[in-house]
Structure 1
């Protein structure tokens, strides 16, 4: 039977652990975005062995479960002299796993930049760094923000995997509370409710952002077409 007294007793404990979940998500996703853009840029290198290495490594990471990768980072790396705390190991494991997906999104955005923009940057004698930071990335990143947002939500929903390497996030806290009281219904229900409350509004915001960006893109295209129509008459 559901006990409201126990619910009000355990809710503050799980709510406090929610900040661990959010912290892990934010830090891991920041790592994923940074590594993702590095992988996307390196994949365009003219040095083919490097490109093949990046492709092979990305495919391997995407083809293996993130839980296995978390176990490797937390339990296997100490045999090589690298010992990490559960939180750091979890952040690295999720960040590296999702960086391979972010890299594909970045790559699609980069390839959508018209070739004329690349040629214009070269004609202006921009350095490689200036070409990427001032011309390519400012045009490639805005359209892919909604897709990156979707992966942020997916990562947030994957954070319960961190309980397998003893990170005391929401699910692990619910397990501890349940084992202490032999009541699991209320703690697990609270965890599910908090995930719903946080992820669903975020999904709606990302959808609105996508609609806004698409509308803005159509307006820019309409302005360009008007300029083309006016140009001959001038």
Structure 2
């Protein structure tokens, strides 16, 4: 038997294409949720109300301290026992986004806390509203330095999408596995899936670096 057969490579492409579309969609949608919720979590952590900030900190730590797969299982399989029935795609995207939002919030928080406290004092002296201070002064200084950290989580989320196969979402690795089980031939499909993950990660890394350069020029970050 051949170690590598190009016939199986071409036959595997339709499987991998369908899986790749699902994988990319899950990553992009999940990360959009993570970026938005992560920023919200970080801002709530900055609340002057000690009880609110502490409660948010505990929620973030709870999410970070429990495995992603456990969270997916709990929402999808335990939820229906309490009358909460959510489609698998919604569960997958939502849990991915919320899980990584907890990590992104810590990245946002580090950037926010790195902004010189004098910026707040200057904003108060200029009688700027709190919302305008955040939007015009704090976030433009906080976000550019943390883009590499956020980019790492984007790539990490992409590599975590195979977890979604546990709730019957046929992402790329599961499609490669399905092809292998249908044809009793795994090496070609699994190798191609691995190559796609590698290429996507390298391209995403290059894009993050390009965004960093653009932001540094725009905001004159040293």
Is 1:110 matched up with 2:126?
no
Task: Answer whether contact 2:141 2:219 (CA < 8 A) is retained.
Answer: no
Q: After superposition, give the CA deviation of every residue in 1:92-145 in whole Å (9 maximum; x if it has no partner).
A: 111111111111111111111111211121122222211211211111111111
Write the distance in 1 (CA, Å) between the matches of 2:24 and 2:216. Answer: 31
Shift of 1:82: 2.0
Task: Answer whether contact 2:30 2:93 (CA < 8 A) is retained.
Answer: yes
Is 1:86 matched up with 2:77?
no
User: What is residue 184 of structure 2 aligned with on the other side?
Assistant: 182
Shift of 1:170: 0.3
Which segments of 5 or more consecutive residues in structure 2 lack a partner in the other structure?
none
User: What is residue 128 of structure 2 aligned with on the other side?
Assistant: 126
Q: 27, 30, 35: which one pairs with 2:29?
A: 27
Task: Answer whether contact 1:77 1:83 (CA < 8 A) is retained.
Answer: yes
Write the distance in 2 (CA, Å) between the matches of 1:87 and 1:207. Answer: 31
Write the distance in 1 (CA, Å) between the matches of 2:117 and 2:94. Answer: 35
Task: Answer whether contact 2:144 2:216 (CA < 8 A) is retained.
Answer: no
How is 1:31-180 mapped onto 2 (pairs within 5 angstroms)?
Answer: 31-180=33-182
Which segments of 5 or more consecutive residues in structure 1 lack a partner in the other structure?
222-234
TM-score normalised by the chain length of structure 1: 0.87
Q: After superposition, give the CA deviation of every residue in 1:27-52 in whole Å (9 maximum; x if it has no partner).
A: 10010111111111111112222222
Shift of 1:81: 2.1
Task: Answer whether contact 2:34 2:104 (CA < 8 A) is retained.
Answer: yes
Task: Answer whether contact 2:162 2:172 (CA < 8 A) is retained.
Answer: yes
Task: Answer whether contact 1:61 1:100 (CA < 8 A) is retained.
Answer: yes
State which drifts further: 50-59 or 91-100.
50-59
User: What is residue 231 of structure 1 aligned with on the other side?
Assistant: none
Write the distance in 1 (CA, Å) between the matches of 2:158 and 2:103. Answer: 15
**What CA RMSD, in Å, does the superposition of the two structures yield over aligned residues?**
2.0
Write the distance in 1 (CA, Å) between the matches of 2:137 and 2:197. Answer: 38
Write the distance in 2 (CA, Å) between the matches of 1:108 and 1:137. Answer: 12
Write the distance in 2 (CA, Å) between the matches of 1:219 and 1:24. Answer: 34
TM-score normalised by the chain length of structure 2: 0.91
